[in-house]
Amino acid sequence: MPTELFSNEPVLSLTNADIYQGTKLVLGDVSFAIHKGEFVYLIGRTGSGKSSLLKTIYADLFLPNGQGHVADFALEKLRPKDVPYLRRKIGIVFQDFQLFFDRTVEENLKFVLKATGWSDKTKMKNRITEVLMQVGLSNSHKKMPHQLSGGEQQRVVIARAMLNEPLLLIADEPTGNLDPAVSDQIMHVFQNINNAGTAILMATHNYDLLRKYPARVLRCEEGKVEEYKQ
Ligand SMILES: Nc1ncnc2c1ncn2[C@@H]1O[C@H](COP(=O)(O)OP(=O)(O)OP(=O)(O)O)[C@@H](O)[C@H]1O
C-alpha cells in the first residue's frame, strides 16, 4: 500500500544506521522507514545480516552510528532501562522464542501480561481471549503447548506478541519449520493482524510466500539494505 495514505510518523525509521555484530560491520549506512499498517519482507542470503538488523530494531544489538526510531524511542540513545518499554511497542516472533511447555496457553500469555505491568484479572482474561481469537485459537486456553501442532504453537507465539497491541510486529523466519499449508495459515494470521493496522517486518527465505502474498521487499546484500523490486 502506498505510504502516503498514512500521514503519521513512521513506526520505524533507520537513517544512515550501521549494524554491528561485535566489531564486525554487518550492514552499513542503512536507511528506510516503515509506516503504520505496512507489510514488509526482509530477504537476503544466509549471513547477509537480516537477524542482526532485526535485533538492532528491538535493541538486542546497540546502534553505534546513525539514527533509529521505533515508536517514540531513539535507538542510538536507548538506555538499558528503556528496553522493556521499547519492547512493549514491538511484537517479536522468533523460532527460538519458545513457549513454556509446563504451562497452559493461557498461563503462557498471562505470564507476559504480568511481566509487562498488567494486574486486573478481568482485563487480562479479556485480552487473552481477544488475541487467541485473532490467531484463530479461541478454544485453546487450557491446552498445553505439546497438545498443539507446530503451526498452532506458532500462532500462540504470535498471539503472545500481540498482547500489548504493538505498532510493529517483527518476525524472523516465522514459517521456517512449517510445511506450505501451515505456512499459509500463518500468513493469513499475519494479514489479519496487518489489516487491523499493525505494521509487519518479516524476514524470510521462503520466496513462495513473496509470490503468493506480494508486498514491499527489502533485501540485505553485500553489506547494504535496499528496496527490492520483484
Ligand atoms: N552473535 C554473533 N557474534 C558475532 N557475529 C555474528 C553473531 N551473529 C551473527 N554474526 C555474524 O553476522 C553476520 C550476519 O548474520 P545474521 O545472523 O544477521 O544473518 P542472517 O541474514 O540473519 O542469516 P540467516 O538467514 O542464516 O538467519 C554473519 O556474518 C554472522 O556470522
Sequence-ordered list of residues with C-beta below 8 angstroms from that of 54, at least 6 positions apart, any chain: 42, 170, 172, 201, 203
Residues with CB under 6 A from ligand 1: 21-22, 24, 26, 44, 46-52, 220
pLDDT digits (tens, 9 = 90+) for 160-198: 999 999 999 999 999 988 899 999 999 999 999 999 999
Nearest to 210 by CA among 199, 219, 198, 222: 219
Q: Flag whether the pTM goes above 0.80.
A: yes
d(CA 214, CA 162): 23
Tell how far the Cα of 173 is from the centroid of ligand 1, in angstroms: 14
Query: What residues pair up with 221 in beta bridges, in sequence order?
Result: 224
C-alpha cell at 75: 535507538
The CATH class that applies to domain 3-218 reads alpha beta
Nearest to 154 by CA among 101, 83, 228, 93: 93
Mutate-to-test residue for ligand 1 from 27, 45, 52, highest number of ligand atoms within 8 A of CB? 52
Region 194-205: mean pLDDT is: 96
CA 9 to the chain's CA centroid: 19
Cell representation of residue 153? 504453537
Is the separation of the CB atoms in 60 and 182 below 8 Å?
no
